[in-house]
């Protein structure tokens, strides 16, 4: 296993369009996190899954954002009706079931909304 992967790495879209990102965590990591990061800021928490259950969701996350992890493996993050303010790096991370203090981050998906 080479680590957390994300697809696509870059996405350019027009305002109002919908976009979907995929994250494949490290095998057997049961915890999966989505973050958003803008320039000069630390990662900002969006949502968290334990297996297929979405256990936490940031209050900052509008109803245009939705995430799924249907089989407890890969996860998708969808943004509907994108806005220019959604432009950011979207990071996915996973951590293991036991001794799970460290989060392993993927390379991110850079979204640009025109």
Partner 1 sequence: GQNIDQPTEMTATEGAIVQINCTYQTSGFNGLFWYQQHAGEAPTFLSYNVLDGLEEKGRFSSFLSRSKGYSYLLLKELQMKDSASYLCAVRDKRGSYIPTFGRGTSLIVHP
Q: How far apart are CA 85 and CA 71, in angstroms?
A: 31
| Cα distances (angstroms) measured from residue 107 to each of 25, 54, 56, 71, 91 | 11, 22, 22, 22, 7
| CB 105 within 8 Å of CB 6 | no
For CA atoms 66, 85, 62, 29, give the dihedral sign.
Answer: positive
Indicate whether 40 belongs to the interface with partner 1 (CB under 8 A): yes
Indicate whether 34 belongs to the interface with partner 1 (CB under 8 A): no
Q: x-or-dash pattern for partner 1, window 55-74, by CB under 8 A?
A: -x------------------
Among the candidate windows 19-27, 30-38, 62-70, 73-81, which touches partner 1 by CB under 8 A? Answer: 30-38
Indicate whether 43 belongs to the interface with partner 1 (CB under 8 A): yes
Indicate whether 51 belongs to the interface with partner 1 (CB under 8 A): no
Q: Report residue 7 as tokens.
A: 């697809």
Identify the residue among 13, 22, 45, 52 touching partner 1 (CB under 8 A).
Answer: 45
Binding site for partner 1 (CB under 8 A): 31, 33, 35, 40-45, 48, 56, 91, 95, 100-108
């Amino acid at each position: 296993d080479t680590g957390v992967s994300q697809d696509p790495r870059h996405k350019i879209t027009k305002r109002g369009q919908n976009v979907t990102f995929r994250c494949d965590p490290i095998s057997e990591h049961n915890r999966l996190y989505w973050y958003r990061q803008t320039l000069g800021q630390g990662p900002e928490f969006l949502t968290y899954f334990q297996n297929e259950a979405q256990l936490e969701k940031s209050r900052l996350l509008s109803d245009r954002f939705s995430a799924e992890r249907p089989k407890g493996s890969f996860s998708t993050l969808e943004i509907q009706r994108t806005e220019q303010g959604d432009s950011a790096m979207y990071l996915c991370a996973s951590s293991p079931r036991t001794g799970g203090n460290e989060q392993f981050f993927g390379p991110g998906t850079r979204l640009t909304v025109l």
